Structure 1
Amino acid sequence: MYDMRLSRSPTMQTLVVFCVVFALQSVIRFISPALMVNLFALAPPVAVRPWTLPLSVYAHANLGHLLSNAVALLFAGLLIERVTTRFRFHAYFLTVGIVAGMAQIWVGGLFSVNTPAVLGASGAVFGLFGYLIAGNPVTDAVLGRLHLSHRAQIAVVFVLAMLATLMTASPGVALIAHFTGFAVGLVAGRLHILRAETQATSNDRAVQ
């Protein structure tokens, strides 16, 4: 029963995809590092290599990069998957990852003479954390009492996303992707787009 639940967990399924893609990267990198980048890294012009849009979300630069994202995914994913469906979880993770990656290469390209390239699930993982922070009942209760205007809510999203981004600032980190993923997650959390009523009701009964 427990093994069956793990196999149906979208968080664990995502981790398996991480490992499979990283294994493929390792083999291809051994043959040709340049080929590995061309196959997995998201870089402009995207239309030339459209397959990198989804692949770059699940690919990682090295083992340390993979492990750090895997730990963060476990922390946020296992909580969020309790109130959503597998389809919604995977669709959200992939979509936020692609949006964050596109923001990184587009905005980064405006301020850099070098061609930007990005790979990794950090943007999507930040999207999960943003959702977790903004979509929980405690946040609902607090914001419900504050009665913030739309402009104030936008300002809060911007400030929180900026703080989360600065906390992860270091050389080589895709900060724009982090900011974008977290901001999208905050907005998605306020809208509760991942909430599946039947799933939430089932979980509430199980807790009771």
Structure 2
Amino acid sequence: MPRLTESPTVVTLGAIGAVFALQQVVGLILPQTLVFGMSRPVAQPWTLVTSVYAHGGPSHLLSNAVALAVLGFLLERETTSLRYHTFFVLTGTIAGLAEVYAARLLGPVVPWMVGQVNVLGASGAIFAFLGYLLASNRLTETVVGGVSLSPRAQLALGGLCAAAITIATANPGVALIAHFTGLLLGFLAGRAHLLRPGTALDGPEPTNP
């Protein structure tokens, strides 16, 4: 039986917990958002990564950890650790950047949106996991595979699905743009099966936990 440390989901959960503990220590000296959060302009380049693993509080951490555990254990069966971690960081970073810069553009014209935000949390990456699983499962392959759609039509369909799920799961104070971006990235990656193993870069084939 594979060890728990071989599971990329367990490793990611451990990293999130370790970063949260570090946040509490750093928070005694400096504001956590200043050190770990992503804001505009991105003056501290490390926040492109730390913002994906850091969280705003225990409830934020717990909700994301539960969602990551449910989706991550499913996703890791289809890919390698390298692809898993790369996908997690890249989609989380892009989703955070989308939230930060969308706030700049929409803040002056949308009453409920502020122009300057500070992004913390793994939800963008977690929504990308959800989008990938929804787009790459056998049922979706059966339904969508029998319909001839242009790349532009597939992008529009993915955008509509991402928007619908984002609205359905919206709560006050959440990063809706980041969630939408993560979902859309996940849908597109799932349709392309980007996380399927098979390249020399991936290393050994994945094993089921």
In structure 1, C-alpha distance between the alignment counterparts of 2:24 and 2:107, rounded to whole Å: 29
Q: Does 1:89 align with 2:84?
A: yes
Partner of 1:66: 61
Matching residue of 1:163: 164
How far apart are the structure 1 equivalents of 2:90 and 2:156?
24
Name the structure 1 match of 2:194: 193
- Show the counterpart of 2:51: 56
1:146 is matched with 147
- What RMSD, in angstroms, separates the aligned Cα atoms of the two structures? 1.8
Match for residue 15 of structure 2? Answer: 17
Q: Which amino acid aligns with 1:89?
A: Y
1:80-121: per-residue Cα shift (whole Å, max 9, x none)?
101111011000000000000000001111122542211100
Letter of the 1:53 counterpart: L
Aligned partner of residue 152 in structure 2, secondary structure: helix
Cα pair 1:56 1:118 within 8 Å, conserved: yes
Residues 98-177 of structure 1 aligned to structure 2 (within 5 Å):
98-112=93-107, 114-177=115-178
Q: Indicate conservation of the 8 Å contact 1:82/1:199, yes or no.
A: no
CA-CA distance at 1:155 after TM superposition: 2.0
1:94-153 Cα distance to aligned partner (Å, 9 max, x none):
000000000000111112254221110000000000000001122111111122233331
What fraction of aligned residue pairs are identical, expressed as a percent? 48
Shift of 1:62: 0.4
Q: Partner amino acid for 1:44?
A: R
Whichever residue aligns with residue 152 of structure 1, its letter is A
Give the one of 16, 37, 48 matched to 1:41: 37
Report the AA paired with residue 10 of structure 2: M
**Distance in 2 of aligned mates of 1:138 and 1:66:** 32
Distance in 1 separating the partners of 2:33 and 2:155? 36
- Offset from partner CA, 1:3-24 (integer Å, 9 cap, x none): x1x1100000000000000001
Where has structure 1 moved over 4 Å in runs of 4 or more? Answer: none
Identify which range, 74-83 or 162-171, moves more after superposition: 162-171
- Greater fraction helix: 1
* Worse-matched range after superposition: 36-45 or 12-21: 36-45
